[in-house]
Amino acid sequence: QIEFAVHMTCERCVNAISKSLADLEGIRNIDISLDRGTVIVESDLSYSVIQERIEKTGRRAVLKGYGDGSSAVSMLGGNSGYSIGNLIKGVIRFAQTPDGCIVDGTVDGLSPGEHGMHIHECGDISNGCDSVGEHFNPYNSPHGGPEDDLSKRHVGDLGNILVDATGRATFRSLDKFLKISDIIGRSLIITKDPDDLGKGDDPESKINGNSGTRLACGIIARSSGLFQNTKKICACDGVTIWDERDRARANNHAYISNRSERFLETYALHDTYLVIDGNCIACQLYMYYTKSYCLFGGDYDKYALCVSEFFDELLKCNVTPLVIIDGGCEDKKLKTIISRTKEKLQRAACYTPPASQNTNKFLPLMLKEVFKDVMNRKGIRYAQCIFEADNTIAAIARILNCPVLSYDSDFYIYGSLYIPFDTWSRNFVSRNPSGNGYVKYCKIYHVNKLFQFYKGLNQLLLPLAAMLLGNDYVKPHTFKNFFRHLKLPHTGRIMYSDQQRRIDATFNWLRRHNLPQAVTGILSRLQKQERKRVLNIIEMVLNSYSSASLSVLHMLGIPPEHCSKKAMEYTSKKYKFEGDIYNLTYVEENSSEANLSDDDEELDDQEITNILQGKNVSNESLVDTLPQWFIDEFKLSRYPSYFIDIIIRRLYVCPIQIEDFSCPTSLNASLNIISVIYALLISEVKGNKTCLEYITRENKEIKCYELEYNDTLYGCQLPLLSNLRTLPVITRREIMNATLGISHESYLHEIPSSWMLYIAIIKYWIDQQEEPCNLGCHVYSLLFAMLFTIIDCNIGVYRNPRKFHDSFDHQIDMIRYARRRRYYNSQYSENAATLGDAFHEVNVDDCYIAASWFQFNFEMNTKLYAYPKTMNTAIIHRFAEFQNCLRHAMNLNALLDYPYEQTKVANVFNGTLLYNLCDNFKRRGDVEAYINLVLKESPSLLRLFDMLLSKVKPLFGTALEKKIKKFKKRKTKKYNENKCTEEENDEETTNESNENEETFYDANNSFSILNVVQH
């Protein structure tokens, strides 16, 4: 028996398949089930002959297996697998046959050409493709190809798959050596480069075929349940087995991507400007390329490295990036922003580590600051709009005749060249085949391709399409009555969703009308009382797409000769409907033609409606009253976007973090700083100075609070905003010190300037706690983590433990051996140098040894995967508080024109490292003794840390005075979710010894000190 899954929709399919197979000699019996979507054939013929005969009827077929033979499946990317950037997705099936194992699959998102495919020994993708081990090679053979004998190949050597110009690989092969029982529980890998099948000259050829970076992987799982519901690939995503061949993205992206051969073309990016949607790409780089644990607040060092590599690729291709960043929130988008904030709060409240790690990403608070730090370091040009940036991005791209890089489907409408970010592949830069230098291959969209397909459609009509289909400003159900008169296309194998059908119907309708006719047609299908409101929406949408502020052009240093006069004029056109909306002939609705679901119709959220009351209309004219220096510096993106929201609306929508939701919001720790920022920003606004409203959470619900306006700081009047740039730096530093509670600035004088502000913020954060002595482990963690950037500066940045140890273990052994041979004893003395001298005199060999200890602390503890309930949310919450203090203090520092050197967040804050350090320190009887032991072989680093401690202890008061108490596991414990207990009780750690057992200290064992409880 040979079983196939077949795409059948009706009895005609069954009859066609039955007739086709009945004519085939050698078939003894046929069993076709329309409900199950299966065809079972009894025959001695090859499965491929039968499958070809089924597919000749126009129905697609996939081999399921032979009789009782086993089968397996591997999901690449998505929720079940892993891929770099989550851009590669695929399904590969294995079915055992008498002749061997069928390997059948479809993979999307790869670059055109050949890519290696291999089975690896481990079924562990907890660290992406780095944790799957080497090729599956039970016979210890050299690497080879799938046609070689087992003595000349690994069992896991599957050769290459060929990817077409659209980024899709569809393949089917028979491997005579593979057995399902041997490969279940292992992993399948797709690599960046072709596999040379062991025929290369260098040693790597006989190991991995020189196939390059591992791009995507998935665990090979038994698929006994795969076809129990034949409509599902797997239980987690609910995608039909046939949708994998037509996998789509949401809305406009889905529509274009599913028709990529029509609307997208391969593009070699080089020697040009590239306008980058800053907000979007900053987020996409974090979500898809940074292997970061967002649970812990952000691994900013990893993110900075990722951003740096992104711009390095562009510069290597002689591409000039121009990054445009969003400014304040416009009135039309306020409701969307608040709705998304509520949605993020709900996701954060039910976050279940680490299961949510790959599927539920949260952007860290300081992401944009790190993004800008990298751009500053690399000399990348960037600017910030006063309000939304999309129109400006598109207009600049038209002026320069260059592409936009984003992942916002609005750019399908603007008429500029557009590179969707999901066609962008990391670390793929090739030599230019037609010239010198390098090129970056991706896919590009040109609106003319759309116009060629939908004859009559033009640029003026596209904003109407975006409005009718729904965007951030208009929901689709606003025009549900309009769609009832449209003849929608039948559901096909590509256009299978209602939204896809709406898009096609909308384009087909619009191409038959000019703009006035289209607007009239839309309004005529509305009741008279609705027309004025909808017309206002139409005019707002049309004008928002066709107008843009180009005041940031000079900030980007664009030469005037590059600016097209025609493109400049295009941005100034305005639309105004000239007809009489009340005398339009009403077109009767025909509800019987409605063929759409109402799933997208949304009811107004009463909670959000209440919050929005009185806030929908801002006073944008207040921007015109701001000092010119403030406007200029805002456009240089020195300030966060929420500054504009505070000025024009007196509202601050606070970002959501993962924290302990049984405690008060982590934002509270920074309210004193926000109060000073607010007072300075509205100091010259005429009229009554009302409270600042800020939206954050109360427990797990969104709530709006008020922060009282106060223009004094410790009894002293705060200066006016217009006078800030005339004040001497000493006065501005006094404002900063008073806000952060620094009464004795002399404590900061011996601290390196790059650390001053960070230390001052730690002091402020400590002061906000009711019991600062309970923060000892957190403070030690923050200080100790400051060493990692010194290590990076000396030996380079390494965040993969396996690669680090493979590269440097031998070198570290040699350092230790050489030191033993010469009885190495450092001559460092704490009193021999200043902290600054100690900072610059760190020994490189010390850094290699210390880095070995740091490496595994950059990764989430594997025990948390097995026992997620051991996650200490109290630690996460305290560091969330600290990040809020850090964010707002840095914003105030910028507003005061940097009286302190601005903190480089990526150099000091790695959330995973901080959590691991704090969790570790809580298990130690004496944290300082433990740190001394850790850095025993790195004396220059130990000296630096000890000197830093001696400088900050007077500043931090009681936080570091108390010896850290070591807690033991209780036999029973009650937990109340609604009460935030003291951290001493909440942060208990596991210890196997009995609570009353005395601790033994062995004077001959230096490690015994780790078990001593200090009182």
Q: How confident is the model at residue 476 (pLDDT cuts 50, 70, 90)?
A: low
Q: Would you say residue 713 lies in a domain?
A: no
Work out the percent of the chain whose per-residue pLDDT is above 90.
Answer: 38
Q: Is the pLDDT score of 251 beyond 60?
A: no
CB-CB contact of 278 with 371 (8 Å) = yes
Residue 569 exposure: Cα atoms within 13 Å on the Cβ side: 3
Q: Is the pLDDT score of 885 beyond 70?
A: yes
CB-CB contact of 756 with 835 (8 Å) = no
Mean pLDDT of 700-716: 91
Q: What is the pLDDT of residue 260?
A: 55
Q: Is 806 left (phi over 0), alpha (psi -120 to 50) or beta?
A: alpha
Q: Would you say residue 557 lies in a domain?
A: yes
Q: How confident is the model at residue 86 (pLDDT cuts 50, 70, 90)?
A: low
Do 453 and 562 have their domain in common? yes
CATH number at residue 76: 2.60.40.200
CB-CB contact of 163 with 115 (8 Å) = yes
Q: Is the pLDDT score of 611 beyond 80?
A: no
What pLDDT, in 10s, does the model give residues 660-689?
Answer: 999 999 999 999 999 999 999 999 888 778
Do 187 and 272 have their domain in common? no
Q: What is the pLDDT of residue 975?
A: 37
Q: Would you say residue 6 lies in a domain?
A: yes
Q: Would you say residue 971 lies in a domain?
A: no
Pull the structure tokens for residue 874.
Answer: 């109290």
Q: Is the pLDDT score of 230 beyond 50?
A: no
Q: How confident is the model at residue 817 (pLDDT cuts 50, 70, 90)?
A: very high
Residue 89 neighbours by CB distance under 10 Å: 21
Q: How confident is the model at residue 97 (pLDDT cuts 50, 70, 90)?
A: confident
Do 824 and 844 have their domain in common? yes
Residue 366 exposure: Cα atoms within 13 Å on the Cβ side: 34
Scan for tokens 């600290």, then name that residue. 882
Pull the structure tokens for residue 114.
Answer: 């050949």
In terms of residues, how long is the chain?
Answer: 1015
Distance between CA atoms of 280 and 410, rounded to whole angstroms? Answer: 12
CA angle 118, 166, 451 (to 5 degrees): 165
Do 317 and 216 have their domain in common? no
Distance between CA atoms of 435 and 317, rounded to whole angstroms? Answer: 12
Distance between CA atoms of 501 and 7, rounded to whole angstroms? Answer: 21
- Residue whose C-alpha is closest to residue 50's, from 96, 2, 12, 9: 2
Q: Helix/strand/coil (H, E, C) string of 590-611?
A: CHHHCCCCCCCCCCCCHHHHHH
The residue type at 542: L
Distance between CA atoms of 363 and 911, rounded to whole angstroms? Answer: 12
* Residue 444 or residue 77, greater confidence: 444
Q: What is the pLDDT of residue 1010?
A: 41
Q: Is the pLDDT score of 512 beyond 50?
A: yes
Mean pLDDT of 169-182: 87
Q: Is the pLDDT score of 226 beyond 50?
A: no
Q: What is the pLDDT of residue 282?
A: 94
Q: What is the pLDDT of residue 80?
A: 64
Q: Is the pLDDT score of 346 beyond 80?
A: yes
Q: Is the pLDDT score of 981 beyond 60?
A: no
In the chain, the number of structural domains is 4
Q: Is the pLDDT score of 565 beyond 80?
A: no
Distance between CA atoms of 438 and 436, rounded to whole angstroms? Answer: 7
State the DSSP string of 824-867.
------TTSS-HHHHHHT--HHHHHHHHHHHHGGGS--THHHH-
Do 145 and 44 have their domain in common? no
The residue type at 549: S
Q: What is the pLDDT of residue 836?
A: 83
3-state SS assignment for residue 290: coil
Last-in-domain residue among 911, 929, 959: 959
CA distances in angstroms from 820 to 301, 809, 823, 852, 943, listed in the order given: 34, 17, 5, 19, 21
Mean pLDDT of 594-605: 45
Do 937 and 791 have their domain in common? yes
Q: What is the pLDDT of residue 228?
A: 35
Q: Would you say residue 631 lies in a domain?
A: no
CATH number at residue 17: 3.30.70.100
Q: What is the pLDDT of residue 563?
A: 61
Q: What is the pLDDT of residue 832?
A: 54
Distance between CA atoms of 570 and 547, rounded to whole angstroms? Answer: 8
The values of phi and psi at residue 325, to 5°, are -115, 145
Q: Would you say residue 643 lies in a domain?
A: no
Pull the structure tokens for residue 872.
Answer: 């200490």
Q: How confident is the model at residue 339 (pLDDT cuts 50, 70, 90)?
A: confident
Sign of the Cα pseudo-torsion (539, 541, 542, 543, in order)? positive
Distance between CA atoms of 912 and 290, rounded to whole angstroms? Answer: 13
Q: Answer whether the bond into residue 354 is a cis peptide, omega within 30°.
A: yes
CB-CB contact of 761 with 736 (8 Å) = no
Least confidently predicted of 156-160, 525-529, 869-873, 959-963? 959-963
Q: What is the pLDDT of residue 353?
A: 66
Do 97 and 25 have their domain in common? no
Distance between CA atoms of 859 and 854, rounded to whole angstroms? Answer: 10
* Residue 34 or residue 306, greater confidence: 306
Q: What is the pLDDT of residue 654?
A: 95
CA angle 205, 209, 214 (to 5 degrees): 135
Least confidently predicted of 307-316, 511-520, 536-545, 824-833? 824-833
User: In which element (H, E) is residue 733 found?
Assistant: helix 729-740
CA distances in angstroms from 739 to 185, 655, 682, 712, 903, listed in the order given: 57, 22, 17, 11, 17
Pull the structure tokens for residue 327.
Answer: 């400014």
Q: What is the pLDDT of residue 542?
A: 82
Cut 0.85: pTM above it:
no
Distance between CA atoms of 451 and 457, rounded to whole angstroms? Answer: 5
Q: Is the pLDDT score of 801 beyond 50?
A: yes
Mean pLDDT of the residues in the chain: 81
Q: How confident is the model at residue 907 (pLDDT cuts 50, 70, 90)?
A: very high
Q: What is the pLDDT of residue 714?
A: 83
What pLDDT, in 10s, does the model give residues 182-192?
Answer: 898 889 999 98
Do 60 and 79 have their domain in common? no
- Residue whose C-alpha is closest to residue 392's, from 267, 549, 158: 549
Q: How confident is the model at residue 1001 (pLDDT cuts 50, 70, 90)?
A: very low
For the stretch 720-736, what's the b/e string if a residue is b when 16 or more beta carbons lie within 10 angstroms of its beta carbon? ebeebeebeeeebbbbb
Do 371 and 294 have their domain in common? yes
Q: What is the pLDDT of residue 642?
A: 96
CB-CB contact of 465 with 476 (8 Å) = no
Q: How confident is the model at residue 691 (pLDDT cuts 50, 70, 90)?
A: very high
Q: Would you say residue 974 lies in a domain?
A: no
3-state SS assignment for residue 409: helix
Do 788 and 897 have their domain in common? yes
CA angle 466, 470, 471 (to 5 degrees): 80
DSSP 476: G
Q: What is the pLDDT of residue 7?
A: 79
Q: Is 253 left (phi over 0), alpha (psi -120 to 50) or beta?
A: alpha
User: In which element (H, E) is residue 794 found?
Assistant: helix 787-795
3-state SS assignment for residue 216: strand
Distance between CA atoms of 1005 and 1000, rounded to whole angstroms? Answer: 11
The residue type at 391: N
Q: What is the pLDDT of residue 986?
A: 43
CA distances in angstroms from 82 to 74, 413, 658, listed in the order given: 11, 32, 23
Last-in-domain residue among 51, 66, 81: 66
Last-in-domain residue among 533, 551, 571: 571
Do 22 and 93 have their domain in common? no
Q: Is the pLDDT score of 243 beyond 60?
A: no
Q: What is the pLDDT of residue 1012?
A: 39
Mean pLDDT of 835-844: 88
Q: Answer whether the bond into residue 516 is a cis peptide, omega within 30°.
A: no
DSSP 910: B
Q: Is the pLDDT score of 113 beyond 60?
A: yes
Q: What is the pLDDT of residue 360?
A: 63
* Full domain range(s) for residue 466: 249-571
CATH number at residue 526: 3.40.50.1010
Q: Would you say residue 566 lies in a domain?
A: yes
Pull the structure tokens for residue 894.
Answer: 């910028």
3-state SS assignment for residue 698: strand
CB-CB contact of 255 with 415 (8 Å) = no
DSSP 489: P
Do 28 and 83 have their domain in common? no
